[in-house]
Amino acid sequence: MSGRRQIRWHIAVFLAPAVLVYTAIMIVPLFGTLNLSLFNQTPERTTEFVGLSNFRTLFGDPRWSGAFWNALGNNAWFFVVHMLVQNPIGILLAALLSSPRLRMAAFYRTAIFIPTILSFVIVGFVWKLILSPIWGIAPGMLDVVGLKSLFAPWLGKEDYALTALALVSVWQFVGIPMMLIYAALLSIPDEVLEAAEMDGITGMSQFWKIKLPLILPSIGIISILTFVGNFNAFDLIYVAQGALAGPDFSTDILGTFLYRTFFGFQLQLGDPHMGATIATAMFGIILIGVCIYLFGIQTRLRRYQF
């Protein structure tokens, strides 16, 4: 290339609004929070710089580290349930919906997406009602099919509560993978599918051999969105079990742990510095996961232009 290329102003114009709003409203305040984790309150109500000692407390002090690992473990299970239940169901529903000449596809798509548009306030309230042993829609329904002995107050038992809430969350959010995969499936050109049909690849084998490889990038996106969403989750646990994430912290995830620490609950005072420390730890965990995806998985996915 001879000479310098001229400055391409249009790139700056395209990027500027998003970068400016995002930096001012999101990044700057977030760094304010991360900064908080390096300070502590002195007895004289002033703050002092303590370096990484808050992190030493979080990972080293048994009172803090026990709660932290418990929340992290629960959060990991929450994520596993979503990956094993939510995403396969989402892909299955999208594959069925995108089959040509399916009647009432719009109705199904809308109906299945409705739980996703409900607020956590509604979702938490209604599932507590349904699973409640007192008002008892679930026990009543199991009674009708003769399985009443299977009923347990799922939300109140330590062994089941987290899984039950994870399944409620799957129920609420299955529409998101469904929609993304659906859009990806519809954008596969007809010519590709017709060519496959000419070669005698139809039905199930067409899905596995032609469509699935083409939608892999979208599956990658929903996996990482699920990961990020789950490790930021808070609202559903909060509206269903409260900030204490009962019974006996068995549904405590990082979000509720952070909330309790940051804002305090009942007799415990809020501690913005330890809260910010937990927030920073969460940030680290999510960052690691996203980097594994971006550098380990996304770069290996093949993209096709049509």
Partner 1 sequence: MAQARISAGRSIAAHAVLITYTLIALFPVFVILINSFKSRKAIFAEPLALPTRETFDLIGYTTVLKQGDFFGYFQNSMIVTVASLFFVLLFGAMAAFALSEYRFRGNLLTGLYLALGIMIPIRLGTVAILELMVASGLVNTLMALILVYTAQGLPLAVFILSEFMKQVSDDLKNAGRVDGLSEYTIFFRLVLPLVRPAMATVAVFTMIPIWNDLWFPLILAPAESVKTITLGSQVFIGQFVTNWNAVLAALSLAILPVLVLYLIFSRQLIRGITAGAVK
Instruction: List the interface residues with partner 1, window 24-53 (CB under 8 A).
Output: 24-30, 32-33
Q: Are 74 and 252 in contact (CB under 8 A)?
A: yes
Site mask, partner 1, residues 214-243, x = CB under 8 A? ---xx--x---x--x---x-xx--------
> From the list 39, 55, 77, 108, which residue makes contact with partner 1 (rule: CB under 8 A)?
108
> DSSP strand E in 71-205: where?
none
In the bound state with partner 1, the residue whose beta carbon lies nearer, of 77 and 108, is 108
Site mask, partner 1, residues 180-209, x = CB under 8 A? x--x--xx-xx------------x------
Restricted to residues 238-277, the positions that interact with partner 1 (CB under 8 A) are 255, 272, 276
For residue 104, give both structure tokens: 């009432």
> DSSP strand E in the chain: where?
39-41, 47-49
* Cα–Cα dist 115/121, whole Å: 12
In the bound state with partner 1, the residue whose beta carbon lies nearer, of 16 and 80, is 16
Q: Which residue has the tokens 């803090």?
A: 64
For residue 256, give both structure tokens: 């509720």
For 41, the 3-state DSSP assignment is strand
In the bound state with partner 1, the residue whose beta carbon lies nearer, of 137 and 150, is 137
In the bound state with partner 1, the residue whose beta carbon lies nearer, of 161 and 175, is 175
Site for partner 1 contains 92 (CB under 8 A): yes
In the bound state with partner 1, the residue whose beta carbon lies nearer, of 80 and 301, is 301
> From the list 176, 236, 240, 281, which residue makes contact with partner 1 (rule: CB under 8 A)?
176
Restricted to residues 3-22, the positions that interact with partner 1 (CB under 8 A) are 8, 10-11, 13-15, 17-19, 21-22
Restricted to residues 126-145, the positions that interact with partner 1 (CB under 8 A) are 126-127, 129-130, 135-137, 140-141
* Cα–Cα dist 230/76, whole Å: 9
Instruction: Please name every residue paired with 41 in a beta bridge, in sequence order, or none if there are none.
Output: 47
Q: Number of residues in contact with partner 1, rule: CB under 8 A?
A: 91
In the bound state with partner 1, the residue whose beta carbon lies nearer, of 218 and 251, is 218
Least distance from partner 1 to the Cβ atom of residue 82, Å: 16
In the bound state with partner 1, the residue whose beta carbon lies nearer, of 131 and 162, is 131
* Cα–Cα dist 56/210, whole Å: 51
Cis peptide before 133 (omega within 30 of 0): no
* Cα–Cα dist 158/105, whole Å: 40
Site for partner 1 contains 84 (CB under 8 A): no
153-156 long-range contacts, Cβ below 8 Å, gap at least 24?
A: 155/127, 155/128, 155/131, 155/240, 155/241, 156/247
In the bound state with partner 1, the residue whose beta carbon lies nearer, of 62 and 303, is 303
Site mask, partner 1, residues 277-306, x = CB under 8 A? --x--xx--xx--x---x--------xxxx
Q: Are 130 and 137 in contact (CB under 8 A)?
A: yes
Non-local CB neighbours of 230 within 8 Å, separated by 6+ positions: 75, 78, 79, 82
